[in-house]
Chains A and B, each alone.
Chain A
């Protein structure tokens, strides 16, 4: 009797998991097979496998104006932004674990308050403009250099490292900076990896700073290019027609193929990177987060 109810539960459980997993994955799979399908065949419907396998969609979108350039901008902002965030947050976190830091509690509170409080969209917009960050690459990386949440995670992690390591380094004559670079930073790799995932995915995904404050075509990120293509049907048709004419492919490309292939290109880095890093951040989160 009891055994039966357990079996029924298992069946139910596996069914729920499989259905929800399919719901989560299928949209990505759909854009993948659509992007490899022949545009005309795809219009008739694509479900499980690519129809008329072709790379023409990819070769077309990389010939679109700005596509490659904005890909580079997105990569640059992700790499530089992530490195800067890690450097700033980890050093800051180390410093606030030191009792020797003057005003330690005040400094830490000053930071933590920003987690719960922000000025709002319009003051943010005006401030960025006044600071000269409009149409400036720095806009992408400077405001996110110190993130309170990351500092809290790092600080919690660093605090549980054995004190003795630091003390022995100090006896050997190392200063704070040296201890940080040679002892603390290498030991903090699990949580640094976690934050690297968050920060890089965040950088890759952010578009509103670009949308509000960057009009310069040379600084557009891939996300915004995608958004423009999604909302601006006219532009897709005219721009892809131009490419079609140039390359004698007049009837082959459809706006949907272009949109879907750009979506795929924007999604791909996240899809490739995060499954490998997931084990780090799951562990890192467990180490850092659950103090509530």
Chain B
């Protein structure tokens, strides 16, 4: 009797948290109905017209805009996926440092950028790279350039510059998980390899690299599943670095949804695109999970 009562208390005490999750993560899903109505802000949904898939068709008709935005999204995502082995290389290099103190110091200092907001990243980039910024100042003094150039307003360099910023912000942090994976490798393997006469490079290539591959593979799959979001911070990065000079090259899907949906008030159209994006992302996630199951024998989640 007492046992049953305490089980009920246990369950009752979980209910508030279930409600929180429901309210903040599931209720917004009901907002998807806006995509099927001709909704205008200020008019209640009950008085607006049901238009079915009109806005999804509209999205296909607007293909020029969408094509440009998708190109940017995929370009930015693919570049950062291509850069992802850098974290592995950095972790291996860190692991090879002989001084543990120095290793710790480098690790601490290089993870710092991960912990600052995108607004601060933008602020730092502004003071480094704007026309009156430090980089121009130094280059002009050295006489390497006559006119200040600014990469922040350079459309041709945008994809590369944004990728570089992403690498700067996330490389040190990304290495932590690989360092953990390396720490988990059986030390005896290294000793055995040493006895067999394997050099340092051979040990890295034959033991460390295969040791971190499973972790790399899982993270890679998760990255591929979120290509349409440009990773976790896609929107914020997009938002802070957006300006009219680079608009054509930087605007990615999430920013496009924000621009049409919130700044121009096309709530229904923006929602429709958001839904399409979510569905494709989920599809990709399941695909990648299935792939992981097939290749590695167990799933990502």
Q: List A residues at the B interface (Cβ < 8 Å).
A: 2, 5-6, 9-10, 13-14, 16-17, 20-21, 23-25, 27-28, 30-31, 34, 45, 47, 88, 91-92, 95-96, 98, 100-103, 107, 110-112, 114, 116-127, 131, 142-143, 145-146, 148, 175-177, 201, 204-208, 212, 223-224, 226-227, 230, 256, 259-260, 263, 266-267, 270-271, 274-275, 278, 282, 285-286, 289-290, 292
Count chain B residues whose beta carbon lies closer than 8 angstroms to a beta carbon of A. Answer: 89
Which residues of chain A are within 8 angstroms of B25 by Cβ–Cβ distance? 114, 117-119
> Contact: B124 with A263, CB < 8 Å?
yes
Q: How far is the CA of A95 from the CA of B106 in the complex (A)?
A: 39
> Contact: A116 with B108, CB < 8 Å?
no
Chain A interface SS verdict (over half): helix
Determine if B160 is an interface residue (Cβ-Cβ < 8 Å): no
> Contact: A177 with B119, CB < 8 Å?
no
Task: Pick the contact of A17: B34, B94, B128 (CB < 8 A).
Answer: B94
Task: Pick the contact of A127: B27, B97, B120 (CB < 8 A).
Answer: B27
Determine if B100 is an interface residue (Cβ-Cβ < 8 Å): no
Which residues of chain A are within 8 angstroms of B115 by Cβ–Cβ distance? 201, 205, 270, 274
Which residues of chain B are within 8 angstroms of A96 by Cβ–Cβ distance? 14
Chain B, range 129-147, C-beta contacts under 8 Å to A: 132, 134, 137-138, 141
> Contact: A226 with B27, CB < 8 Å?
no
> Contact: B10 with A101, CB < 8 Å?
yes
> Contact: A110 with B18, CB < 8 Å?
yes
| A-B interface contact total, Cβ < 8 Å | 239
Which residues of chain B are within 8 angstroms of A223 by Cβ–Cβ distance? 117, 119-120
Which residues of chain B are within 8 angstroms of A146 by Cβ–Cβ distance? 17, 20-21, 24
Chain B, range 258-294, C-beta contacts under 8 Å to A: 258, 261-262, 267, 270-271, 274-275, 277-278, 282, 285
Which residues of chain B are within 8 angstroms of A120 by Cβ–Cβ distance? 28, 257, 271, 274-275, 277-278
Q: List 30 A-B contacts (CB under 8 A).
A: A14-B97, A20-B106, A20-B172, A21-B109, A25-B109, A30-B127, A47-B138, A95-B17, A100-B6, A101-B10, A102-B11, A110-B21, A114-B25, A119-B32, A119-B278, A120-B278, A123-B32, A124-B28, A127-B28, A142-B24, A176-B9, A177-B13, A205-B120, A212-B262, A230-B119, A260-B127, A266-B117, A266-B120, A267-B116, A270-B112
Which residues of chain A are within 8 angstroms of B94 by Cβ–Cβ distance? 17
Could you say which of B72-80, B175-183, B187-195 contacts chain A?
B175-183
Determine if B300 is an interface residue (Cβ-Cβ < 8 Å): yes
Q: How far is the CA of A285 from the CA of B174 in the complex (A)?
A: 12
> Contact: B119 with A121, CB < 8 Å?
no
> Contact: A118 with B172, CB < 8 Å?
no
> Contact: A226 with B112, CB < 8 Å?
no
Determine if B215 is an interface residue (Cβ-Cβ < 8 Å): yes
Task: Pick the contact of B116: A6, A34, A205 (CB < 8 A).
Answer: A205
Which residues of chain B are within 8 angstroms of A121 by Cβ–Cβ distance? 235, 254, 257-258, 261-262, 270, 274
Q: How far is the CA of A232 from the CA of B301 in the complex (A)?
A: 44
CB distance from A215 to the nearest CB of B (A): 14
Determine if B200 is an interface residue (Cβ-Cβ < 8 Å): yes
> Contact: B29 with A282, CB < 8 Å?
no
Which residues of chain B are within 8 angstroms of A148 by Cβ–Cβ distance? 21
